[in-house]
Each structure stands twice: as C-alpha cells, then as structure tokens.
Amino acid sequence: MISQLTGTLIDRTPTSLVVDVNGIGFTLQVSLPASSRFSEIGSKVTIPTWMLVKEDEISLFGFADATEREIFLALIGVNGVGPKTAQRILSETTPQALADRIVSGDAAALSKFKGVGKKTAEMLVVQLKGPLSKLGLSEPAAPAPASGNPRAAEAVLALVSLGVKEPVAQKAVEQAAAEFGPDASVEMLIAGALSRT
C-alpha cells in the first residue's frame, strides 16, 4: 500500500496530478480542492495517498491533506459509494460541510450529490453520523473552486475539457455564477462563462 508520495509535481489537471518520485511518474486521481492546493508545476510536494488494487486495475488517489483522506475512506466504507463517487463528493463540498450535513442527518442535501441516491444518502447518515461527529475538522487550505458550488465546479470541468485554461475557466464561471445566482444550472453557467472567455 502506498500511503504517501513525496516528489516533484510535473503535471496537473482539475482531477489529476503527476508526481515524479526518483524518475518515476505517479498519476494521482484527486478532488478539485486537492488539485487547487498542489498547483505549482515543478514544486516539491508531499501528498497523502490511497491505492486501489483490483484484478484489472491499480489506481492511486491523492488528497489535499490527511483529513480529506480520512473522509474519503469513511465514504467508501458505505455500501454504494465507490472511490470515484467519493472523489466527486469531495470536489463538490468541503470536508467540514459534508460532515455537518451527515451529522445533522440532512439526507436530502446529501442526495443532491451526483451518484448519490436517496437510499445511499440515508446510509451515509446512519453509518457515518457517529464517526464524523467525533472527528475534529477544519476548513481545507484550498477551498473548492467557485465557492464550493457543485454546478459551478462541474461547469469549470466542462470548460477545461473544451480547452479553456483552468484559471480562466474558474474566473469566468465565478462571474457567471455571480450574475445568474446560486440556482443557475450547469448549462447556464457554461454558456455565461463561454461569453467571457
């Protein structure tokens, strides 16, 4: 099990990092906050990791800090939540906000995460309410893009996939979100952001 990597950041996207460790490039799947935190190409980084080993796949997941990894491991311990869904949840909210929703029993809010249905949301509350209420959390060093708005984060990813540079995409989406309000759809945010790039 690889639980940490220390090396040089040589490449990054909104959802992945490549770290050179003694000449070997490791690709890490990461959340948007983790990608934002480790953003300087060429810098020395130490990243907490978790390795997934399957019969036909070996994947490394990276995290902004140990707390994000702890939340990730708690999430994938719930039936119906896989690693990719857990990373998506961590991209759409902060560990603190997620813990608050779970501890308060807000299954309705949890079910709004992509890939999380009503039954899974209820399981998150039942299984994690106790453990997370005992976990001392603080806000992460790097906030989720576009103020943690999941639709804005999705819009940023869509723009990046279209070839727009991430800083430009993030700024444009934030401007569109400010204009259209918190209830704007992903499509509205993308269209509004494209008119600004």
The chain-wide mean pLDDT, for the chain, equals 84
**Which residues touch 24 (CB under 8 Å, ≥6 apart)?**
none
Are 120 and 126 a contacting pair, CB within 8 Å? Answer: no
Mean pLDDT over 116-127 rounds to 91
Nearest-angstrom CA–CA distance, 172 and 160: 12
For the chain, give percent helix, strand, coil, nearest 5. Answer: 50, 20, 30
The pLDDT of residue 132 is above 70: yes
Say what the pTM is: 0.68
* pLDDT at residue 32 in the model: 85
pLDDT tens-place string over residues 157-179: 777 766 777 778 888 888 888 88
| Percent above pLDDT 70 for the chain | 90
Mean pLDDT over 42-62 rounds to 93
Nearest-CA neighbor of 176 among 187, 185, 189, 195? 189
The pLDDT of residue 5 is above 50: yes
**Which residues touch 109 (CB under 8 Å, ≥6 apart)?**
101
3-class state of residue 154 by DSSP? helix
Q: How many residues does the chain have?
A: 197
Nearest-angstrom CA–CA distance, 178 and 36: 21
Domains of the chain, earliest start first? 4-62 (2.40.50.140), 66-133 (1.10.150.20), 146-194 (1.10.8)
HSE-up of residue 24 (Cα within 13 Å, Cβ side): 5
Handedness of CA 37, 39, 42, 47 (dihedral sign): positive
In sequence order, the β-bridge partners of residue 98 are none
pLDDT tens-place string over residues 18-47: 999 999 999 999 988 888 889 889 999 999
